[in-house]
Structure 1
Amino acid sequence: MRLEIGNFYVKDIRFGKELSYQAGILTIQKEEALKFVREDERITEAELYIAKPGDKIRMCPVKEAIEPRVRPDGRSVFPGYTGDLTRAGEGVTHALKNCSVLVVGRHWGGFQDGLIDMSGEGQKYTHFGELQNLVLVADTNEVFEQREQQKKNDALRRAGHRLAEYVAQCIKELQPEETEVFELEPMIRRANETEKLPSVVYVMQPQSQMEELGYNDLAYGWDMNRMLPTVMHPNEVLDGAMVSGSFMPVSSKWSTYDFQNCPNIKALYREHGKTINFLGVIMSNLNVALEQKERAALYVAQIANTLGADAAVVAEEGYGNPDADFVGCIVALEDAGVKTVGISNECTGRDGQSQPLVTLDEKCDAIVSCGNVSELIELPPMETVLGELEALARDGLSGGWAADEKLGPSVREDGSIIMENNAMFCGDQVCGWSPKTMKEF
């Protein structure tokens, strides 16, 4: 499969008379864009803002991030979700780089929603603080889940995906500034020089723990709770086959933007034919019952062996219960003779001294840490808040609280906050964005 992503590098976003892209300037016709968003009758309130690096803006509760893209041939960017079910991963896609569409709740947040700062100390904690962002702040008529800790956020997420496709229409007929080509030969038809290199698979474990549909990540629009591990071409992941729907604590979550740009996949691509033979992606899942976890691990190991993998990289979305899937998968691969590296965050408590993963095994001897979800973060007030900052303390966001005997409330009267890293939107970036490093004391 050959995928060409034509890139257009956004230097600035502005509101103006018409939707256009020229010389790095993305112009949005605000009222037309909002009219498009409101075509979904579930959207009861909607407004658009622009948030740039350096702006004194705090956003909360942030629900989703999407890179604006369009396919020149008219196919949907997210097949099976925003349009007809067609194959992703081949052909031509145009992308607006260095920018995202962010979806923020007007009022109500939940376990999987978080915070982004565009300047100050908080900016460094999330990749989206470095991007040019078109921000949709909206509310819906889905009253039944307003006070639920875990939300499907379906209307808001779909609004964001549709808006991202709508915005990218302005580059549909333009000539890209740069074209990235992603192409892998069929696994059994590779050059002898490539075949001699160590064969590596990338195992992704997107969130799929909820038995009730609508709370999990989607593959071609299909709820991943219904899936068994399978082989996917890495191009499919980069080209819209995967859509975020995770209820995971938000620092551990993968947004759709993360799937679209997965740095781990791109890094493996860069080494293909040089130091490794990159076979592709084993798309696994995360389950609740022990038997389901064991079954998935067996499937992953069997697929890796069948493909002839010498090594694997396993990346986990989430922590806690999913740690059992993560560790079990690594152990199954090691038992099958596949040398494995794991990538995960840790939950080591506010003092950093607790056990990092819920379950451990001596065979997990090569794990890359992306940080501690429980680390305390204290941030000063910000001039502008998009959304409703009170949601951090009120609505069960994974890193916030209404009251604490020692620390007080997460949201203080002056607008400053204290929270766990847990509440930083996609802050741990197991997929490869993380700016964090390790220090030895």
Structure 2
Amino acid sequence: MRLEIDNFPVEEMQFGDETSYNDGLLTINKEEALEVVKKDEHITEADIVFARPGEEKRIVPVKEAVEPRYKEDDGAVFPGVTDDVESVGSGKTKALKNCSVLGIGKHWGSFGDGLIDMSGEGAKYTYFSQLNNICLVADTDEEFERHEQQKKNHAIRWATHRLAKYLATAVKDLEPQKEDVEEFELAPITKRDKKTQELPSVVYVMQPQSQIEELGYNDLVYGWDTNRMLPTLMHPNEILDGAIIGGSYMCCSSKWATYDFQNCPTIKKLYEQHGETINFLGVIMSNLNVVLEQKERAALFVQQLSTSLGADAAIIAEEGYGNTDADFIECFKLLEEAGIKTVGMTNECTGSDGHSQPLVSLDDAADAIVSCGNVSALIELPPMETVIGELESLARDGLAGGWEDDEKLGPSVREDDSIIMANDSMFCGDQVLGWSPKTVKEF
């Protein structure tokens, strides 16, 4: 399976009469773009604003991030979501690079929403501060969940995907610079050359968020709720090409947005090493569960798939922490029992006092874990000149890292609009899929 991604770097953004791309400049017909957004009658208010790296802007509550993509011959960009269910991962896809479309609540936030600072101290905590962001700021009539701490945010999230698909049509008839073309090709496992087959075989185990039994909160695979699946083998190209979109449930620093799946650094790094130092077998898409029996069943499937593929080693990454640590460690344990050397990637939670066990579940077999951050770490940030969205939502609406008041720390949002919050609310801040800049100090 061969996938070509033609990248068109966005260096500047503006509004104009026609949605177009020219030499790094993305021009957006705002009225036309908002028509695409408002195809869902549940969108009651919507606006599009820009946020560039270095600007004194704070964005909250952020619900989703998507890289604008166009599929050759009008193929499916997000199958099962914006398009019919059809296979992705091959052919040609065009992408607006160095930018993202952010879905933002104009008023109401929720447990899984986060914050992005485009400059200052806060910018270092999230990858999205480095991108040119097209911010869809919207409200909906989804009254049934307005005052719920956990929201599906369906209308805003789906509108974000529609907008991303629309914006990428600006480059559908353009040809990229040669250096801006990425190629991903992985031969069938039994058809690889002798040199590759003699290299250590590595499988990547991804555990996307799938804990909520009610549909609509979890990540989706080809539009299918991950709570309804068992671990399965996927071609890495499918993941890079829109087969998976992020959900609304998960403390935000732990979350994998759709943008993260589209650009998964670990998959790209495994591709770089394929045929050189490793034989990259593919991706086992697993799930995260609540009931112990479900966790054990999923781990057994991961073990069986890995051994059947002939894996010598595995990388395992979980989207989340707490209850999900049990799934993460159970997979780790069974892979090691099968003789498969395993490295784990996750963040940790030490509690506000720093004294809690960093992972809820541990095992001696899990002796190689890369920590991508501590969700409990406290962050204090000064006020910003501009707020995109609504700053009050951080404290009022149950965002995972915010609070209305604390007897020692006071409210998350102070009178001067400076904030104190847990790392939990930094939008996709722990970047477990492979681009976390965080490290540790030894004392």
Q: Give the TM bin, normalised by the shorter chain.
A: over 0.9
Residue 353 of structure 1, CA deviation: 3.2
Candidates 436, 439, 442, aligned match of 1:437: 439
Match of 2:147 in 1: 147
Q: What code does the residue aligned with 2:44 have?
A: T
SS state at 2:268 partner: helix
Match of 1:97 in 2: 97
- Kindly provide the CA deviation profile for residues 375-423 of structure 1, in whole angstroms up to 9, marking residues without a partner as x: 0000000010011111100000000000001000000010000000000
Alpha-carbon distance in structure 1 between the residues aligned to 2:25 and 2:435: 25
Shift of 1:256: 0.1
Write the distance in 2 (CA, Å) between the matches of 1:392 and 1:286.
27
**Conservation of the 8 A alpha-carbon contact between 2:203 and 2:284:** yes
Determine whether 1:334 maps to 2:336.
yes
Partner Cα separation in structure 2 for residue 235 and residue 342 of structure 1: 22
Specify the alignment match of 2:428 in structure 1: 426
Task: Tell me if structure 2 keeps the 8 A contact 1:67–1:164.
Answer: yes
2:80, 2:362 → 1: CA distance? 37
Between the aligned partners of 2:232 and 2:304, the Cα distance in structure 1 is 10
Task: Show the counterpart of 2:163.
Answer: 163
Contact 1:254-1:426 within 8 A present in 2 as well: yes
Q: What is the match of residue 74 of structure 2?
A: 74
Scaled by the length of structure 2, the TM-score of the pair is 0.99
Deviation at 1:349, TM superposition (A): 2.1
Contact kept in structure 1, 2:210 and 2:287, CA below 8 Å: yes
Q: Which amino acid is 1:280 matched to?
A: G
2:378 to 369, 372, 376: 376
| In 2, Cα distance between equivalents of 1:246 and 1:37 | 19
Q: Which position in structure 2 is the counterpart of 1:41? A: 41
- Residue in 1 aligned with 2:61? 61
SS at match of 1:294: helix
Distance 2:277 2:418 in 1: 48
Contact 1:246/1:254, CA 8 A, preserved across alignment: no
| Residue 13 (structure 1) shift | 1.0
TM-score (norm 1): 0.99
1:227 corresponds to: 229
Structure 2 residue matching 1:393: 3-state secondary structure: helix
Partner of 2:305: 303
Q: CA deviation at 1:351?
A: 4.0
What is the percent sequence identity of the aligned residues? 69
Partner-residue secondary structure (3-state), 1:188: helix
Aligned to 1:285: 287
Structure 2 runs not aligned, ≥5 long: none
How much has 1:167 moved relative to structure 2?
0.4
Write the distance in 2 (CA, Å) between the matches of 1:439 and 1:142.
45
Q: How does 1:25-424 map to 2 (within 5 A)?
A: 25-177=25-177, 178-424=180-426
Q: Which amino acid aligns with 1:56?
A: E
SS in 1 for 2:191: coil
Secondary structure in structure 1 of the residue aligned to 2:133: strand
Q: How far has the Cα of 1:294 moved from its partner?
A: 0.0
Say which SS state the counterpart of residue 155 (structure 2) adopts: helix
| Cα RMSD (Å) | 0.7
Distance 2:298 2:426 in 1: 29
Partners in 2 of 1:439 and 1:229 — Cα distance?
A: 36
Check whether the contact 2:201–2:280 (CA below 8 A) recurs between aligned residues.
Answer: yes
Letter in 2 for 1:108: W
1:9, CA displacement in angstroms?
A: 0.7
Paired residues of 2:252 and 2:425 also in contact (CA < 8 A): yes
Q: Which amino acid aligns with 1:63?
A: K
Deviation sequence 1:223-245 (CA, Å, 0-9, x none): 01000000000000000000111
- Give the counterpart letter for 1:281 in structure 2: V
1:6–1:92 Cα contact (<8 Å) kept: yes
Number of equivalenced pairs: 441
Looking at structure 2, the residues matched to 6 and 224 of structure 1 have their Cα atoms a distance apart, in angstroms, of 29
Question: 1:109-163: CA deviations, max 9, x gaps?
Answer: 0110010000110011000000001000000110110111111111000000000
- C-alpha displacement at 1:35, in angstroms? 1.8
